[in-house]
Chains A and B, each alone.
Chain A
Amino acid sequence: MSEYLVRRLIPAVPILLGVTAFTFVLLHALPGDPVLAMAGERFDPEAVASLRSQLGLDKPLHERYLNYMGGLLKGDLGESFVSGRPVSEMVLERFPKTLLLAGAAMLFACVLGLFAGVLSAARPGSIADKVGMMSTFVAVSMPVFWLGLLLIFVVSVKFKLLPPSGYGGVDPRYLILPAVTLGAGSAGLIARITRSAMLEAVSEDYITTARAKGLSEVRVMVKHALRNALIPVVTVMGTDFGSYLSGAVLTESIFGWPGLGRLTLDAILKRDLPVIEGSVLFMAIAFMLVNLLVDVSYAFIDPRVRVEERKGES
């Protein structure tokens, strides 16, 4: 297993190198001068020039990249142009909050998605199935922005059940709305995939066998069919969870959630290059780790997939 992990982690090095190089070049080539963003609406050219040299932006691109990489190898992500704070500190202060939101959203998506998927698959063509699949269709296609505002206005303003926005740690009052908003799309997708994978699984012979053995329907569905249907579902969970870690900008903005997405968005608007580079790198690492976790989990879900076999593939 550890050998497998090492083999999987080796390609991560060139990928991360690529990510840093690509982000760096892209950001420095983009229009929008970080110094102008800091200088405000009225400034004198001397101040701008001195600020530019203070930030090292007057150096040629390759020199800046080498400096950046040199720092990176020492574990130094640099300092924010705008606030002067270490980027690693800024990212680490926001990341747990994003992780919490992503985790809650995924929990919601899994519980609801699996429940609805199994229910639909158990009685294909029934009213429950049709209603279920119709609602998942709505959930998948509903824009996050719209759903978030809708929830705020119905749940918070109209019925005054939960606070409209804000961060309260694990306090469910603050967590429910953003988690539902962020997780709704995944819930729908998970439900649809669970349903089709389950339908495929129940037509297999071992299900007939299980039923013939006289096992209860619940046991047949959950223990036998669901377990075999889980692989595509886990894949979707992993991809979605990974994207939550980097792409929850909208949800975080609507609910005033102080996560990594908002930090990155603010940094983009202010052209705070070190913060953007640091966040993107962090997101890339998080995404790769989640994917690795998903791959490893296949082995636990499906005994047929063994780590040894996968070794041969890579």
Chain B
Amino acid sequence: MSTLFKASLPCLVALGCSCAGSADPGAFRSYLESEPTSLDPAFAVDVSSGVLCSLIYERLVRPGDDLSIEPSLAGGWEVSPDGTVYTFHLREAYFSDGKRITAGDVKHSLERLLRPDVGSPRGWVMAPVVGAEGFRSGRRDSLRGIRAVDERTVEISLKEPFPAFLSMLAMPSASVVPEGRARAAAPDDRRDPICSGPWVLLEWTRGERVTLARNPRHWGPPALDRLVFRIIPERMTQIAEFEVGNLDHLQIPKSDLARWTSDPAWRDRIERQVDLAVVYIGLNNRKPPLDDARVRRALNHAVDAEAIVTRLMNGTAVRARGAVPPGLPGHDPDRPAYRYDVSLARELLARAGYPDGFRMEIWYREGGGADQVLEAIQAYLKDAGVAAVLRAREWGTLKEAINRGVPDAYYLDWYADYPDAENFLYPLFHSDNWGGGGNRARYSDSAVDSLLEEASRVVSSDERYELYLRIDERVYKDAPWIFLWHPVTSEVRQPWVRGDVLHPLFYGQRFTEVTKTGRSGRDAG
């Protein structure tokens, strides 16, 4: 056997040399963890589709690196003093087929999200627009609130002031596609999508890779010629591909971070960024004893989230002191966190009538990598007398069960759809949004409801953020969740990569500034 192996070695080496690290200075090589479901922005609800849509389609505005909303297809805009009418001025821009992008295209694209024959799950993005209900129900042929004033001016009227609307227009769902197609990249019509973004779709080999090419018609075309996304579901395989130089960057799996940060070769090439996300254990606020705020607070005091973050998660998360993550206006970095105090937790439980604790089930996603932290949480809860039973459930099953309010508690996260504190408070805590709307804890507080309604209408930014800060604080004290942490993403890059930045939103990176210094992948070793 060993001779056979030795004999085959040179031939393997010969094979290997011709392929390792396909040196391609014109292409940036990235990856996606799963196959995109659709390149139609109206159906892009998963991360892979969102990433691709945000690259091949333009939106009126886009999220800047500091999360402020920046001009994109709209070179500028005005908001009426009462905050209900937005007037966007389109810049001179073209689709990949050479046609000019007009106000009519924008109207069509945004209307599509509400059109009954399209059936987009993202209709809620356009819900604040005047006439949304009538249009969605099919009673009207046109969405009254969106008007193409002239070729290059779009006017959007909202039912009431809603400043977060501008950030919602930065979402991939609000992408601009040409007028005249009900479905932008409909699989049944087999046409390639007509792109408006800095990249265009070159090829999509199912299950394998998606290749984008530079859109020369774009007003800010990318520096590189191509952007290749290989579909690599396995984390360990992603690492291997990066290590041999076949990928230009890598998001380091949390379990593997220590190895990279201690390696002098990679240490300085790692960028870290707190995600616009929050991880929590949602408590079913309708189910006794969790309907008692004292019990919920007791659980927050019982779990030493700080210790889990520092010792177990090795800096791959920062502790949450509310739902709004750092980086968003409305986040309060100085808010005191729940103190880890078992006797206080026991005392609160006793006052609520549970001196001997109680039993509850925590459901979580199977294979989500949360087992270790959940076991730690289980142990903390046990110290306080609460017997937590962990139940792993397949993702689809879990989602359905928590939308219906079945489990006592569930471990879940919430990633920003758009960069605004509103996105972390209104869907998650307003009583109108129980279940699939986002408020899966079935939390209800009339004061929070009216504060949320008030905040969403406030036009002055300072006042608005101040209100969100107060709402976040109130909710935190009321403890509808066990507040855990905000995840931190760490990305490592090959030495030949320049200009790649980690954006806090998954659809924020446009890869237009990225360049490569032309070194081949093989030199990486």
- A: residues with CB less than 8 A from B are 30-33, 36-48, 50-51, 54, 79-80, 82-85, 90, 93-94, 97, 135, 149, 152-153, 155-157, 159-167, 172-173, 176, 253-256, 258-259, 262-263, 266, 269-271
Question: A166 contacts B230, CB within 8 Å?
Answer: yes
| Docked CA distance A135–B4 (Å) | 15
- Interface 1/0 per residue, B1-22 and A, CB below 8 Å: 1000000010011011011100
| Docked CA distance A94–B205 (Å) | 11
B-side contacts of A47, CB under 8 Å:
119-124
A-side contacts of B427, CB under 8 Å:
42
B80 within 8 A of A: no
| Given contacts A42-B427, A161-B16, A271-B396, A36 and B187 within 8 Å (CB-CB) | no
| Given contacts A31-B401, A32-B397, A255 and B243 within 8 Å (CB-CB) | no
B38 within 8 A of A: yes
Interchain nearest-CB distance for B39 vs A (Å): 10
Task: Report the nearest A residue to B190, measured CB to CB.
Answer: A85
| Given contacts A42-B437, A258-B205, A266 and B35 within 8 Å (CB-CB) | yes
| Given contacts A82-B37, A93-B206, A165-B232, A173 and B119 within 8 Å (CB-CB) | no
B116 within 8 A of A: yes
| Docked CA distance A256–B229 (Å) | 12
B-side contacts of A93, CB under 8 Å:
206
Could you list some 11 contacts between A and B, CB below 8 A? A41-B415, A42-B417, A42-B436, A43-B124, A83-B38, A156-B244, A160-B525, A162-B16, A164-B244, A165-B232, A166-B208
Question: A256 contacts B233, CB within 8 Å?
Answer: yes
Question: A94 contacts B207, CB within 8 Å?
Answer: yes
Interchain nearest-CB distance for B417 vs A (Å): 7
Question: A84 contacts B20, CB within 8 Å?
Answer: no
| Given contacts A44-B124, A163-B244, A256-B234, A36 and B400 within 8 Å (CB-CB) | yes
The contact of A258 among B9, B46, B122, B208, by CB within 8 Å, is B208
Question: B45 contacts A38, CB within 8 Å?
Answer: yes
B77 within 8 A of A: no
B240 within 8 A of A: yes
| Given contacts A83-B38, A163-B244, A173 and B400 within 8 Å (CB-CB) | no
| Given contacts A39-B436, A93-B206, A50 and B119 within 8 Å (CB-CB) | yes
Question: A254 contacts B207, CB within 8 Å?
Answer: no
| Given contacts A164-B241, A164-B246, A42 and B233 within 8 Å (CB-CB) | no
Question: B15 contacts A161, CB within 8 Å?
Answer: yes
| Docked CA distance A172–B207 (Å) | 19
A-side contacts of B35, CB under 8 Å:
266
Question: A152 contacts B37, CB within 8 Å?
Answer: no
| Docked CA distance A38–B206 (Å) | 19
The contact of B121 among A39, A153, A159, by CB within 8 Å, is A39
| Docked CA distance A255–B35 (Å) | 15
Question: A149 contacts B208, CB within 8 Å?
Answer: no
Question: A44 contacts B417, CB within 8 Å?
Answer: no
B394 within 8 A of A: yes
Question: B12 contacts A156, CB within 8 Å?
Answer: no
Task: Report the nearest A residue to B232, measured CB to CB.
Answer: A256
A-side contacts of B231, CB under 8 Å:
256, 258
| Docked CA distance A255–B230 (Å) | 12
B-side contacts of A32, CB under 8 Å:
394-397, 399-400
Taking A42-B436, A84-B188, A164-B237 as known contacts, 15 extra A-B pairs with beta carbons closer than 8 A to each other, sorted by chain A number, are: A32-B395, A32-B397, A32-B399, A37-B399, A41-B414, A41-B415, A51-B119, A93-B206, A161-B12, A163-B19, A164-B244, A173-B16, A253-B234, A258-B205, A269-B396
Interface centre among A31, A44, A50, A256 (most CB of B within 10 A): A256
Question: A50 contacts B116, CB within 8 Å?
Answer: yes
| Docked CA distance A172–B38 (Å) | 32
Interchain nearest-CB distance for A263 vs B (Å): 7
Interchain nearest-CB distance for A162 vs B (Å): 6
A-side contacts of B123, CB under 8 Å:
44, 46-47
Interface residues on B, range: 35 or more
| Given contacts A160-B525, A256-B232, A262-B233, A40 and B207 within 8 Å (CB-CB) | no
A-side contacts of B525, CB under 8 Å:
160
Interchain nearest-CB distance for B393 vs A (Å): 9
B-side contacts of A172, CB under 8 Å:
15
| Docked CA distance A166–B232 (Å) | 8
| Docked CA distance A166–B427 (Å) | 40
| Docked CA distance A73–B12 (Å) | 49
A-side contacts of B161, CB under 8 Å:
none
Task: Report the nearest A residue to B423, measured CB to CB.
Answer: A42
A-side contacts of B403, CB under 8 Å:
36
| Docked CA distance A40–B46 (Å) | 7
Question: B438 contacts A42, CB within 8 Å?
Answer: yes
B370 within 8 A of A: no
B307 within 8 A of A: no
| Docked CA distance A188–B318 (Å) | 48
A-side contacts of B19, CB under 8 Å:
162-163, 173
B-side contacts of A256, CB under 8 Å:
208, 230-234, 237
Task: Report the nearest B residue to A45, measured CB to CB.
Answer: B436
- Interface 1/0 per residue, B414-428 and A, CB below 8 Å: 110100000000010
When A and B form their complex, which 5 residue pairs have the shortest distance between CB atoms, in order from nearest?
A: A258-B207, A32-B396, A40-B45, A164-B240, A39-B121
The contact of B436 among A36, A94, A97, A164, by CB within 8 Å, is A36
- Interface 1/0 per residue, B124-164 and A, CB below 8 Å: 10010000000010000000000000000000000000000
B-side contacts of A253, CB under 8 Å:
233-234
A-side contacts of B236, CB under 8 Å:
149, 152, 254
A-side contacts of B223, CB under 8 Å:
none
The contact of B395 among A40, A80, A258, A269, by CB within 8 Å, is A269
Interchain nearest-CB distance for B137 vs A (Å): 8
Question: A85 contacts B187, CB within 8 Å?
Answer: yes
Question: A36 contacts B396, CB within 8 Å?
Answer: yes
| Given contacts A152-B240, A254-B236, A37 and B396 within 8 Å (CB-CB) | yes
| Docked CA distance A248–B16 (Å) | 25
A-side contacts of B232, CB under 8 Å:
165, 256
